[in-house]
């Protein structure tokens, strides 16, 4: 399966991270205040990703929101959000919207002055996320796979043919 990575969108702080789903996405857990502190994903096999971001969001002061996705009936079709500065972080993810074919799930605080991004997927399936995080989620992007693999084209085969004598037109009599 040829997977394409889109993004990440956001800042360059923190460390790189990546997670791929086995099957579909079933659960998203996000901690946030005025920006996204951490993300955790669970796939349809029951496997949880590591936590991307800090533990601060799960200790106190932040909201923790968990959503369950009714996979395979419900699946992600786009990711959008807003990026902006927070404290000493020049660019971090401040607001996220996970859009499925059935509804949208939003996290964080939407500030009009922040920079928006949107990643709609029309001809593929979202199979994971990647980005950067430290104390906050600095950036986020998608891993996308084609819905149907590209068919392999076989080279034409030449079959044996018989050679006939060249065609000679009949002469007409004068």
Please report where in the chains the tokens 């590209």 appear, as a residue.
Answer: 150
Is residue 148 within 8 A of residue 12, CB to CB? The reply is no
The 10s digit of each residue's pLDDT in 119-171 is 999 888 899 999 999 989 999 999 999 876 555 555 555 555 555 555 556 66
Cβ proximity of 63 and 31 under 8 Å: yes
Q: Is residue 40 part of a domain?
A: yes
Provide the domain count of the chain: 1
In a domain, residue 163? The reply is no
When comparing pLDDT for 114 and 158, which is higher? 114
Residue 9 lies in domain? 4-145
- Looking at the domain assignment, is residue 14 inside a domain? yes
């Amino acid at each position: 399966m040829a997977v394409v990575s889109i993004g990440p969108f956001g800042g360059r702080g923190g460390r790189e991270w990546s997670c791929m789903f086995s099957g579909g996405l079933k659960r998203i857990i996000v901690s946030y205040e005025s920006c996204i502190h951490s993300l955790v994903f669970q796939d349809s096999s029951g496997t949880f990703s590591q936590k991307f971001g800090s533990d601060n969001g799960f200790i106190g002061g932040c909201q923790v929101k968990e959503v369950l996705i009714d996979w395979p009936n419900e699946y992600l079709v786009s990711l959008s959000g807003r990026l902006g500065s927070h404290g000493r972080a020049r660019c971090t993810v401040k607001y996220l919207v996970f859009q499925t074919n059935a509804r949208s799930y939003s996290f964080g605080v939407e500030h009009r002055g922040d920079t928006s991004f949107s990643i709609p997927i029309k001809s593929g399936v979202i199979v994971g996320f990647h980005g950067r995080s430290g104390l906050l989620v600095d950036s986020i992007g998608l891993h996308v796979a084609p819905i149907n693999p590209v068919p392999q084209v076989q080279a034409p085969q030449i079959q044996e043919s018989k050679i006939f004598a060249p065609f000679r037109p009949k002469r007409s009599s004068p």
